[in-house]
């Protein structure tokens, strides 16, 4: 028998692997032939290649990076819930955690070929643009958005040493997203055929991409490595909250009473947030074609599998309730 050559799969590192976005990106990269490793925070059970690490523990993070020796990296871990009530956590994890990771990657003898740093479209704040391009002035309107804007500047400090690009995802949803996010909350009420739902400001407009499309976009961009670029992850199709409710009613046949609860209305509410996908499409082409109706139907028919503690440290999906 001749000599057998061991096939070594390329290694991917996802921070926030056990979060909502990380799980879908891991599946996408695994299907593309990568061996996926990741970091997790908290007490979730560990699997092979998953490491508990606090991004603010610089040495522990270096140990993980040294062990994995990743070829590509997707930095998704963050405090991602806009209404998180501890600004110290928001700034410490989103800014210093990112700096620690990039510093650790720069210390590798062979640096990764492609590094995605997930920011957020929330940095655009209350932009008056109809659809927002990457050139729109940042006007962050809450601590989370400010932390993400600062995180982008930190990432740019390392672009001379590392092949970094920045993504700014607009709202995206799917099965497994925690119920303190708006769409899962609505889906949960329709699944149990509740008579009433209390929401915050009803006069807001958002686009809602499918998390599977976002995972696809991230994987394509990691393959392409648009070093130094900033890219909106979006579909440019905003919906009002009232339209979302109407779609859920159409799919389920269940009519629900909607009340606006002032306690759920957040200060500095971003009224409209929709992105221009021109740059994204020029780089990777069209995203998989999921309409919001498709995504809602998927969520409404899926088993109830929401993540509870993960809501604070998933990728960059936004919540506006």
Pick the residue with more confidence: 304 or 176? 176
The predicted model scores a pTM of 0.89
* pLDDT-derived band at 278, boundaries 50, 70, 90: very high
What's the structural domain count of the chain? 1
Q: Answer yes or no: is 158 within a domain.
A: yes
How large is the average pLDDT for residues 65-83? Answer: 87
Q: Answer yes or no: is 49 within a domain.
A: yes
pLDDT at 266 over 90: no
Note if 34 is an active site residue: no
Q: Answer yes or no: is 162 within a domain.
A: yes
User: Which residues is 75 bridged to in the sheet?
Assistant: 15, 117
Q: What whole-number distance in Å separates Cα of residue 221 and Cα of residue 72? A: 11
Span of 34-43, 55-64, 69-78, 190-199 with lowest mean pLDDT:
34-43
pLDDT at 4 over 90: no
Q: What whole-number distance in Å separates Cα of residue 255 and Cα of residue 252? A: 8
pLDDT at 152 over 90: yes
CB burial string 53-62: b at 16+ within 10 A, e below = bbbeebebbb
pLDDT at 42 over 90: no
Pick the residue with more confidence: 305 or 273? 273
Quote the pLDDT of residue 84: 47
How large is the average pLDDT for residues 292-309? Answer: 77
Q: Answer yes or no: is 189 within a domain.
A: no
pLDDT digits (tens, 9 = 90+) for 155-205: 999 999 999 999 999 999 999 998 888 999 999 999 999 999 999 888 888
**Sequence-ordered list of residues with C-beta below 8 angstroms from that of 33, at least 6 positions apart, any chain:** 9, 10
Spacing of C-alpha 50 from chain mean position: 19
**Sequence-ordered list of residues with C-beta below 8 angstroms from that of 182, at least 6 positions apart, any chain:** 199, 241, 319, 320, 321
| Choice among 24, 41, 124, 144 that is catalytic | 144
Q: What whole-number distance in Å separates Cα of residue 212 and Cα of residue 125? A: 25
Handedness of CA 234, 237, 238, 244 (dihedral sign): negative
**Residue 286 DSSP code:** P
Spacing of C-alpha 312 from chain mean position: 11
Q: Answer yes or no: is 258 within a domain.
A: no
Alpha carbons within 13 angstroms on the beta-carbon side of residue 315 total 33
- Which CATH number belongs to the domain containing residue 85 in this structure? 3.40.50.720
The secondary structure of 93-115 as a DSSP string is: IIIIIHHHHHHHHHTSSS--SEE
Is the CB of residue 232 less than 8 Å from the CB of residue 277? yes
pLDDT at 316 over 50: no
By residue range, what is the domain housing residue 48?
A: 11-178+208-236+274-287+305-312
* pLDDT-derived band at 235, boundaries 50, 70, 90: very high
Give the strand order in the sheet containing 238-240: 238-240, 205-207, 272-273
Across the chain, mean pLDDT equals 88
Pick the residue with more confidence: 3 or 273? 273
Is the CB of residue 105 less than 8 Å from the CB of residue 68? no
Give the count of beta carbons closer than 10 Å to the beta carbon of residue 201.
17
User: Which residues is 37 bridged to in the sheet?
Assistant: 13
Q: What whole-number distance in Å separates Cα of residue 117 and Cα of residue 125? A: 20
Q: Answer yes or no: is 200 within a domain.
A: no
Q: Could you tell me which of 134, 277, 154, 155 has the C-alpha nearest to residue 217? A: 277
Q: Answer yes or no: is 186 within a domain.
A: no
Residues listed for the chain = 321
Q: What whole-number distance in Å separates Cα of residue 26 and Cα of residue 28? A: 5
How large is the average pLDDT for residues 16-40? Answer: 95
Q: Answer yes or no: is 202 within a domain.
A: no
pLDDT digits (tens, 9 = 90+) for 20-29: 999 999 999 9
Most distant CA pair in the chain, distance: 74
CA dihedral 193, 196, 201, 202 (to 10 degrees): 70
pLDDT at 312 over 60: no
């Amino acid at each position: 028998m001749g000599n057998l050559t061991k096939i070594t799969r390329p290694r991917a590192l996802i921070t926030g692997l056990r979060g909502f976005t990380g799980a879908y990106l891991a599946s996408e990269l695994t299907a593309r032939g990568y061996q996926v490793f990741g970091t997790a925070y908290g007490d979730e059970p560990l699997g092979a290649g998953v490491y508990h690490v606090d991004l603010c523990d610089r040495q522990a993070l270096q140990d993980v990076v040294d062990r994995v020796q990743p070829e590509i990296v997707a930095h998704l871990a963050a405090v991602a819930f806009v209404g998180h009530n501890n600004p110290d956590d928001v700034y410490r994890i989103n800014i210093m955690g990112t700096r620690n990771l990039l510093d650790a990657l720069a210390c590798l003898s062979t640096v990764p070929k492609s590094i995605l740093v997930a920011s957020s479209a929330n940095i655009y704040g209350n932009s008056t643009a109809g659809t927002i391009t990457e050139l729109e002035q940042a006007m962050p309107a809450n601590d989370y958005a400010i932390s993400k804007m600062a995180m982008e500047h930190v990432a740019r400090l390392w672009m001379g040493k590392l092949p970094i690009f920045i993504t700014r995802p607009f709202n995206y949803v799917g099965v497994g997203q925690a119920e303190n996010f708006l769409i899962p909350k609505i889906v949960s009420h329709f699944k149990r055929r509740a008579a009433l739902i209390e929401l915050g400001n009803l006069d807001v407009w958002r686009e809602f991409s499918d998390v599977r499309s976002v995972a696809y976009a991230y994987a394509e961009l990691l393959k392409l490595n648009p070093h130094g670029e900033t890219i909106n992850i979006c579909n440019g199709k905003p919906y009002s909250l009232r339209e979302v409710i109407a779609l859920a009613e159409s799919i389920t046949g269940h009519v629900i009473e909607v009340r606006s609860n002032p306690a759920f209305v957040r200060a500095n509410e971003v009224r409209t947030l929709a992105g221009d996908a021109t740059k994204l499409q020029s780089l990777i082409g069209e995203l998989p074609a999921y309409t919001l109706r498709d995504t809602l139907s998927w969520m409404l028919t899926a088993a109830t599998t929401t993540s509870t503690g993960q809501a604070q440290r998933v990728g960059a999906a936004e919540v506006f309730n």
